[in-house]
Structure 1
Amino acid sequence: MRRIYFLVPDIKTTHHIVDELHREGFNDRHIHILAKRDTPLEDLPEATILEKTDFIPAVERGIVLGGTSGLLAGLIGLSYAGFVIAGGPLLGVILAGATIGSLAGGLTGMSASNSKLKQFEEAIEKGELLVLLDIPIERITEITQKILKHHPNAEFDGIEPILPPTH
């Protein structure tokens, strides 16, 4: 799966695009709309906190950093206690570090806006809407061409991998 971005000039065009995406078999959990604060989206699928913030990348970084810290703490403990803490307890220290790191990273990420969306902030503040579509790789060209053909005022603005994958 990949996430593609379309910058759309108004709510009416966004409604038409979402309706077309529904006819193409996409449901609301694969469509995310980001608009200026206080813009009434009516029945459009609004972007969630996962799309609006850096929560997922921060959790990933927290797991790596916490797991590494847990490993180091476990190895230091192993060097002092000998083989007494080898195996299960060492794994427990690593997992505890990864858990604490992921929690801390996630909390940090929730407070930071999505760095990938910064390039769209100005357009969104002017009233444009950003459509994020989670799409199978093999359908990117087909769907992008259909949207641009039917809505030439929509602007295709890129593709990125999705982590974690949505199904």
Structure 2
Amino acid sequence: MKRLYYVTQDLDDAEMISGEVHRNGIDDHHFFVICRDEKGIKTHHLHGSDTLEKTNIIASGSRAYQVGGGLAIGIMALALLNHLFAVVPSLPIFLLIIIAAMATIIVKIAGSSFDSYLMERLNQHLDLGEAVIVIDVDRNQLHKVEAMLELHPKAKFIADCSNIGAAIPE
């Protein structure tokens, strides 16, 4: 899945986009509107959070632990298949610890850098009173949703990323 980020200056447009997105088969679990106007979110019946601070931002940590764990399992499998335990019993364990720790640290630093950049951009738009629309789409829905949003002159595309461990919202 892919996560698309759009901004619009008014919640009326966000409500129209919400209706169109829902008619195209995307449910509330894959569509969010983030805005500082809590009352506006409720009166327009939008699924979302009134402030960015209430959203769950664990993306870089999640990606780091997934990569580190994957490498640890891979190294352990290689060690068992190549009979490294028979040659030097402690070597695979040390390799496992060092490589998994380094991968986790590198991915966490790189991921938090992207998350910080994205959060800064989103906060800039929210501070201007705009609404951020977050849509998770399957690859087969991607072009249809992008084409639909191109028909909304008030909606502006600002970013996209994979939704696996992506920043906001959960």
Distance in 2 between the 1:35 and 1:46 partners? 8
Identity, % of aligned pairs? Answer: 20
How far apart are the structure 2 equivalents of 1:159 and 1:68?
A: 27
Partner letter of residue 46 of structure 1? G
Aligned to 1:153, the other structure's residue is in SS state coil
Could you report, residue by residue, the CA deviation over 1:129-162 in whole angstroms, capped at 9, with x for unpaired residues?
000100012322221121221x211111232111
- Seen in structure 2, the aligned counterparts of structure 1 residues 67 and 26 have a Cα distance that, compared at 3 Å, is closer
Q: Whole-Å Cα distance in 2 between the matches of residues 141 and 11 of structure 1? A: 24
8 Å CA contact 1:2, 1:161 repeated in 2 = yes
Q: Distance in 1 between matches of 2:71 and 2:26?
A: 39
| Counterparts of 1:153 and 1:141, CA distance in 2 | 19
Shift of 1:164: 4.7
Measured after TM superposition, the shift of residue 10 of structure 1 is 0.7
CA drift at 1:58: 1.2
1:155 to 2:167 alignment: no
Match of 1:56 among 37, 54, 59: 59
Aligned mates of 1:163, 1:118 — CA distance in 2: 20
Q: Which amino acid aligns with 1:12?
A: D
CA distance in 2, matches of 1:63, 1:141: 29
After superposition, give the CA deviation of every residue in 1:3-41 in whole Å (9 maximum; x if it has no partner): 1111011111111110111111110000011112x5321
Q: Are the aligned partners of 2:35 and 2:132 in contact in 1 as well (CA < 8 Å)?
A: yes
- Residues 33 and 133 of structure 2 are in contact (CA less than 8 Å); yes or no, is this contact kept in structure 1? yes
C-alpha RMSD of matched pairs (Å): 4.1
Q: How many Å separate the matches in 2 of 1:122 and 1:35?
A: 12
Q: Structure 2: any 5+ residue segments left out of the alignment? A: 76-87
After TM superposition, the structure 1 = structure 2 runs for residues 69-88 of structure 1, keeping only pairs within 5 Å, are: none
Unaligned runs of 5+ in 1: 72-81
Q: TM-score under structure 2 normalisation? A: 0.61
What amino acid does structure 2 have at the position aligned with 1:133?
I
**Could you tell me which of 130, 137, 162 is aligned with 2:132?**
130
